Chain A
Amino acid sequence: MAKISKEEVLHVARLARLELGDDEIVRLQEQLSDILQAVSRVSELDLSDVPPTAHPLDVQNAWAEDVPHESLSADEAFANAPDRHDDHFRVPPA
C-alpha cells in the first residue's frame, strides 16, 4: 500500500513545483516508497480517542493591536530581488 507509483511521483512533483529528471524520478520513487513504508506504521496504533496535537504548547488567542509599524524602504524590499523593474518585482508571465 505504501508503494508510490511513478504517476504519483510526477503528480506530487508538479504540486511542489519540482522539475525532476528521469533518473531523479526513479530514485525518488524508490526512496519515497521505502520511507512511506516506514512511516505508515503510525497507522498501527489505535488512535480513536486521541485528539491531534497541532501545537506543543497550549496557547490560544495570540494576536496584536492594529497599530502600524515602519515598513521596509524600497532598497530593503528589493535588496535581494532577482529582477526589479522600477518599483515592482518582475517575473515571467503567469
Chain B
Amino acid sequence: MTAVDTFTLTAEEAKRLLEAGEVSGAELYQAYLAAIGERDPELHAYLHVCDSPAAEGIPIAIKDVISTKGVPTTAGSKILEHYVPVFDATVTARCKAHGLVLLGKTNTDEFAMGSSTENSAYGPTHNPWDPTRVPGGSGGGSAAAVTAGLAPWALGSDTGGSIKQPSALCGNVGLRPTYGTVSRYGVVAFASSLDQVGPVAKNVRDCALLYSVIAGRDDNDLTTVEVPEVELPTAQDLAGVRVGVPRELNDAEGIEPGVRDAVQRAIRLAESLGAEVDECSLPRSVEYGLACYYLIAPAEASSNLARYDGVRYGLREQGADFRAMVMKTRDAGLGDEPKRRIMLGTYALSSGYYDAYYGTAQKVRTVIKREHDAAFERFDVLLSPTSPTVAFPLGAKVGDPLAMYLNDLLTIPSCMAGLPGLNIPCGLSEGLPVGLQLVGAQFSENTLFRVGHALEGALGFDAVPTRFRR
C-alpha cells in the first residue's frame, strides 16, 4: 500500500487513493489510529477513539457536542460523562450516508463555551504547533486533530467563533456556514439562534467538499433551508471580486502586530490577484458585537442547559427530594464557565431585566445585521484577522473571563448577523499560525470558497507544524 502521510493527506486525495485501490479503507483508518496513538497522548485532541469500523470510506473526527449513535457524547462536560446517544445527529447521519467513517470524538470547551478548550471537564487540548499553548476553542480538539494529522478532516460547531478561531490558532481551514444551512438536530445546543455545525479541513477544497456532505434542509430542524449547490473552487485569481476591509475589525484594540502584518500581506496579495480592495466600516457591529453576543448566547444557553436535571440521562447526584437532587446534580456536573453563562443568561431573561438586557440585545442584533447587509451591497467578501492574537499559553487567560471573551471580538459580529465565515491560515507570527477571516453575505459559501482557494494557493502556507516537519 501507498505510505500515507496523515499530516499532508487531504480528504480529496484520500478519496482518490481509495477509489484507485492504492490504499484500503482499513489501512487508511489504521494510519490515523497509529498517528493518534503516537501524538494524541501529548495533544489530547480526542475524548474518545473508535475501533476500526467495517466500513471502507474516508475517516472523520467529530466534535463531542455532536450526537453519534452508540458512541459517547459528552459535550466536554461531566454532566454527560457516560451519555451514549441512541440516535445520530443529522450531520453524523449524512457523513455516514456519504461513506465517511468515524475516527472518534474530539475535545471541546464544556458545552462549546470557551475560546481555548481549557473549559473541557476532561482537560485541555494542546496546540500542535506548541503544546504549551492553547489550540483555541471551543473546537480545539477538531482543529488540533486536523493540523496534527490525527484526522483528514473534522466536524466542528461554531456559535461565536468556535470553528474559525481554533482553525486560526492551529493553522487550518474552518468554515462557519450561513445560519440555517446545516442542521442542528442532534447537536448539543448552546445558543440556538447562533449554533452552526461546520467543516474543519486542511484546505479550502476539502472544506467545501465536507460542507456539501452536511449542508441542506433537514425535516428534523425547521430552522434550516435549502442551499445553493456547492461549487468546488478551481480559480487561482480574484478578478472581479470586491474585497472589503472593515476598519474596525482590522484596527481593533488588542490585535497583535504580527497578526496585523500577516493579514495586511494577505490583503495586498488579494489585490495582486485581481481583487478590488477597499476599506469599509462596521462601527457598531464591532463595538457592540461582544456585548450583544454575551447577552443573547448565555440567555439561550441558560434555557438550553436547563434540561440537564438528572432525570432522563446524564449525571445524577443524590437528593432528599427532586429539587435537592437537581441542584446537587447541576452543581456537581456543570463547570465554572457554563455556570457563569447560565447565571448571566438567567439574569438577562429574568423578570424586570428582560427589556434592558435580552430585549435590547435582540435589537442591537438587528443593527449589526443591517450594517453587514449594507457592506455587502458594495462588497463580495470582507477580510480581517480571525483572532486578535496567535495561540496564547495554557492558563494565561483562565482566571479572567472577560479577557477570554475578547478572543471572540473579531468572529462574533458576523455570527450575530447569521453570516458565513471562513478561516484560512495566512502566515506565521512568532512561529505560530495567523488566521485570515473571510466573511460573506448569506448563502455566499461558494464565494468564500473561491476567494479562499485562490488566496490559499497564492499564500502557499505550509500547514504542517514546524516541529513535525521532517
Contacts and interface: CB of A to CB of B under 8 A. Distances in A.
Contacts of B180: 56-57, 59
A51 B370 CA distance: 11
B411 to A, nearest CB: 15
B319 A40 contact: no
B350 interface: yes
Instruction: Give the interface size class of chain A.
Output: 35 or more
B306 interface: yes
Contacts of B347: 4, 8, 12, 32, 36
A93 B344 contact: no
Contact of A53 (B310, B344, B369): B369
Interface hub of B222, B340, B363, B442 (most chain A Cβ within 10 A): B363
Given A32-B347, A51-B363, A64-B219, A80 B313 contact: yes
A82 interface: yes
A67 B456 CA distance: 49
A92 interface: yes
B401 A52 contact: no
A77 to B, nearest CB: 8
B346 A12 contact: yes
Contacts of A19: 327-328, 330-331
B417 A80 contact: no
A93 B322 contact: yes
Interface in B328-348: 328, 330-331, 334, 339-340, 342-344, 346-347
A29 to B, nearest CB: 10
Interface stretch (B265-273, B287-295, B377-385, B461-469): B287-295
Nearest to B192: A55
A9 B347 CA distance: 9
A45 B288 contact: yes
Nearest to B82: A80
A92 B318 CA distance: 9
Nearest to B293: A39
Given A53-B362, A59-B225, A35 B322 contact: no
Interface in A32-73: 32, 34-36, 38-45, 47, 50-57, 59, 62-64, 72
A83 B319 CA distance: 13
Given A36-B347, A56-B193, A42 B321 contact: no
A9 B284 contact: no
Nearest to B80: A80
B225 A57 contact: yes
A49 to B, nearest CB: 10
B63 interface: no
Interface hub of B284, B347, B357 (most chain A Cβ within 10 A): B347
Contact of B365 (A17, A53, A94): A53
Interface in B256-311: 284, 288, 290-292, 294-295, 302, 306, 309-311
A13 B314 CA distance: 21
5 contacts: A18-B334, A24-B339, A42-B361, A80-B312, A92-B320
Interface of A: 4, 8-9, 12-13, 15-20, 24, 28, 31-32, 34-36, 38-45, 47, 50-57, 59, 62-64, 72, 76, 79-83, 89, 91-94
The 5 closest A-B pairs by CB, nearest first: A56-B418, A52-B362, A80-B313, A62-B222, A82-B316
